[in-house]
Structures are given as C-alpha cells and as structure tokens.
Structure 1
C-alpha cells in the first residue's frame, strides 16, 4: 500500500465535541451512545478495507452448529491494525482517542488492542461479561469504543449494558460463556440493576463503555453480517498488574509484550494515541 494512498485517507484528526452532560452521564452509567463518530464518507473508505482483512485472516471454518456459545457469537480478529497501514490509520485516529480520554477524564490514552467483531447471519448472542477480567492493567481508567461499520437494525441492535455496574468492580472471573451469562444475568436481576440497549445504529455511530461495565449482545437473526470495529484504550501512565488468572497471563504476553508486573504499560503495541 503506497504512502500516496495513505496520505489520501480521511484524516480522522478533528475533534468530536462532547458536552459536560455527556461526560457526566458516561462516568455515572459506564456507557454512552454517540451519533456519527465517523461519517458516511469515512466509513465508505474504511469498511471494505476492514472487511477484506477480516476475510483474509479469519480461520473459523466450522459450521455454526459445531461451535460453542463463544464461537457462535462472532468472528473475532484482534490487532487488525498490525496487518494494514490503512486500518492502523483508522484505529489510531486522534478523534476516537480524544473521545476516550475525555470520557475517562484523563490527559492521555494508549491503545490496548483493537478487535473486528463480525457477527454472522444466524450468529448467537454474546453472553454477559466484563471485559477487564482479561486485562492485566492496574487501573479502572479503561474504555472500549464499539463502532458498527454497517447499519444495524433494531433486531440486532447495540450491545446491552448494565448501568452503573462499573462501580461494582471485579464481579466474577468467569470467561465469556454460558456460565458467565447465567451467573451475571441472575446477579443483574437480583440486584435490580437497570439495563439499556440503544437499538438500531447507523454505520459510524458508536458506543463507549468502561472495562468493568457488564454487557452482552443479542444474536443476529438477519441474513447479513453485523460488522463492528472495536478499540480498547487505557489511561497513559497505567502500570501492569500481577496477572491473577491464565487469561491475564495470556493477555500480558500478547498485548503487552516484554513487560512485567509493575512496569509502565507502554510496549511497542501500546502507542500513545492522544495527549492533551
């Protein structure tokens, strides 16, 4: 891919201005929905590039009925930015990173990793879980942007969030599974925690949620792919925590290569994407 092509990509460097009310709502509830974080023209450029890369990197060949619940939930390709300068341009966008920093109330953010999450036609639900059980990051200043790059209708919808659940911290070590769904669903119901699904979303709309926010997602009853890009950020200055699970040990090796407990979480894979 030529430098000339990269230079002609949408810049994604301008700011998306948040109101104080929006920031306060995110910090209270642990999630927020924002319209047109990326516009139609930008999505039209990046969507086919992301789609081609997902198809090239996808190694899932099993039929849907042969997979477990996690396997039915989505095709998952992580750190897709490492494979494409154009996708890196999108994932490293200053606009997105500044939004993450503003919502977290921090001066700067680094990337943890990205994920393309493509839910196939007939794909299953994503069980209730907390993202941060996987991350060996010694902070609660973490956030994920979840952006569809196609229009998604009401019956597919956004993720479902349990409001203010991020304030409860580390609730369960259960990995994403039928067990996590049952256990956390019962917890939400027993505690009377309010949940919200933002419904239909247009390509370029986005939700942001805290690393500790409980969330799930419906299945895909439609006959076309639900294509989503996610980017995980954390506050600059965060240190690596001592991994307490196999999942966190695996994440440390993959997403924070060469680092140990107590080190600054700033490996070659975690560049600073925004600083005030």
Structure 2
C-alpha cells in the first residue's frame, strides 16, 4: 500500500479541512485489523480508557476505548503505522509528526444517537492548530450506520467552545453571520478499509447507527513535532506529569514521521 498522497488530495485537505482516502488498508490488513479491534474492545485492562455502560447516555452516542496500543500489540502495529503518519505529515506540511493517542470508536446498534457537530481541538490539551485525525472505517459506512459529515472550510473559523456530546449545544450558533452558514455539509460514505483525515478545527458529525451491528472505526490523533502541552485536563495526559509549555515527546508521544 502506498504512503503517498496526490497533490490534489493535499490541496483539497488544506483548503477544506478534510479529505477522503480510499483503500488505505489492503484486504488482508482489514481482516487482521478487525480481529485485533474486536479483541481490544472485549478485553478489560487498566491502560485503555473505556466507556461502555449499557445504560449510560454516552453509550447511545458511541462506545470507545482510548490508547488501545498500550494493551494490545496488534493495535499498536496500526496505531504507530508509518503509512498513516506519513500521510498526516504530507497533509499538514509539518517537518515531523507525533502520535497523541488512538481511539477505537464503535457506534452501537439499537438506541443509537448521532454524534453532534463539534470540533476536536477544544478537547485536546494543545493549542497547535495543525493537529489532525485519521478516521479509518472498518465497516462500510453510510447514513444508515454512522458515516461522517464535514463542513468544508470550517477549520478557518478557529477554535471554538467544546460541545457536550451527550447534551450538545448547536455549534453553528457561534458562526452566525459567517460564510459557514452557506457551506453545504459533505456526507462521506466509504468502503471498509478507507479513511478520512480531518483537522482538529473542522466541524464534523456522525449519523446514528440504525442497523443491527456495531459500526467499527479507528481514529489516530496526530500532532506536528514541537506541539506543546497547554495544561488542560485530558485522560491521555493526566498521568504523564507534563508541565504546561512542555513539548510532547517520549515513548507515550513518539515521533512517527
């Protein structure tokens, strides 16, 4: 599989704040990855942060584990895969790319809720505006089971307030009277093994899962080398003894590209 993106893909990302990349996984990798993530989501462990309370409101939005790489070697293989980090470096134009965390995301069937419109950067303990995510589909995704939507060019409005994903505010109240009101959201349907990249500032949304099976996806958050910790609380950094203003580095936040 190639690590290279076309100039058109890079230009599209830099203008619109997101880009779709098809067939980022081979058929064999997809089969292996599905096995690993099934194992990781079923295992109880101390290092991965998990939310799967069957009766909890958040469970109806999604079920998740953060930093699966710390407890499952197979997940580490993909979380640290140079192919994905190299693409992130190309899209941002950064001299180097570091890993922040991985994120297994299952949109559960049954009483599922949409993931509301939000930006990611307000939740991350950094001020670097080039941080971004890869979102890898491990199942075919469309409006029926939780595919993503993005608002083109919304990354240019800057960092807004974080949205409560269970009891959300309308993020568009913060962009009234701006060009964002005129932007038509783009629905991103994908085959399993494809992915999107999106900026931490890009407005995005995921549909509810109205099917009988979980919608499985895996996200990796990347940041340019030199990004500093801003002191904000976060499940990934709360046990790291970081000092505000300190660059992310070391074994928890390795440089991958």
TM-score scaled by structure 2? 0.89
Q: In the alignment, does 2:252 pair up with 1:269?
A: yes
Q: Is the 8 A contact 1:78 1:113 kept in 2?
A: yes
1:1-276 mapped onto 2 (5 Å cutoff): 15-57=2-44, 60-63=52-55, 67-68=56-57, 70-122=58-110, 123-180=112-169, 183-187=170-174, 191-199=181-189, 201-241=190-230, 243=231, 248-251=232-235, 253-254=237-238, 257-274=240-257
- Aligned residue for 2:40, secondary structure, equals helix
Cα gap change, 1:125/1:189 in structure 2, threshold over 3 Å: closer, same or farther? Answer: farther
Higher helix share: 1
C-alpha distance in structure 1 between counterparts of 2:175 and 2:132, whole Å = 21
The CA deviation at 1:42 is: 0.6
Q: Is the 8 A contact 1:136 1:251 kept in 2?
A: no
Q: Is the 8 A contact 1:252 1:259 kept in 2?
A: no
The CA deviation at 1:254 is: 3.4
Deviations 1:229-273 (A, max 9, x none): 1000000111222x3xxxx32346337x12111111114310111
Cα gap change, 1:98/1:150 in structure 2, threshold over 3 Å: closer, same or farther? Answer: same
List runs of 5+ in structure 1 lacking aligned partners: 1-13
Deviations 1:41-88 (A, max 9, x none): 11111211111110223562424xxx32x3311111000000011110
TM-score scaled by structure 1? 0.83
Cα gap change, 1:252/1:38 in structure 2, threshold over 3 Å: closer, same or farther? Answer: closer
Q: Is the 8 A contact 2:101 2:236 kept in 1?
A: no
List runs of 5+ in structure 2 lacking aligned partners: 45-49
Q: Size of the alignment, in residue pairs?
A: 248
RMSD in angstroms over aligned alpha carbons?
Answer: 1.9
